[in-house]
Amino acid sequence: MNSDQLLGAALMIVSVILIVVYGYLIYFYPLIVLQITAFVAVAAILVILAWIGYTLLTTPAPKPIEESTESQQGDQNKEQK
């Protein structure tokens, strides 16, 4: 097996084990496990929204399309002369 296949097998085995552990925990401690699960899900969504906001905040605005079209036409006119 190459390293990618070993990594895939390890991920699969760990995932199955975690599903069994989660099922066990939800059976014996349903309220706390559901509260933790809901918190993690909401927190993950909010982290993604924060990341999108940060990206929008820090990314420079693109140049307007009209300016690029005018400059290309000007370059073409120069080449034709």
Q: How far is CA 75 from CA 33, 53, 72, in A?
A: 65, 37, 5
pLDDT tens digits for range 39-80:
999 999 999 999 999 999 999 988 888 755 556 666 666 666
Whether residue 32 is predicted with pLDDT greater than 70 in this model: the reply is: yes
Coil vs helix vs strand at 51: helix
Instruction: State the Cα–Cα distance between residues 38 and 13, nearest whole angstrom.
Output: 25
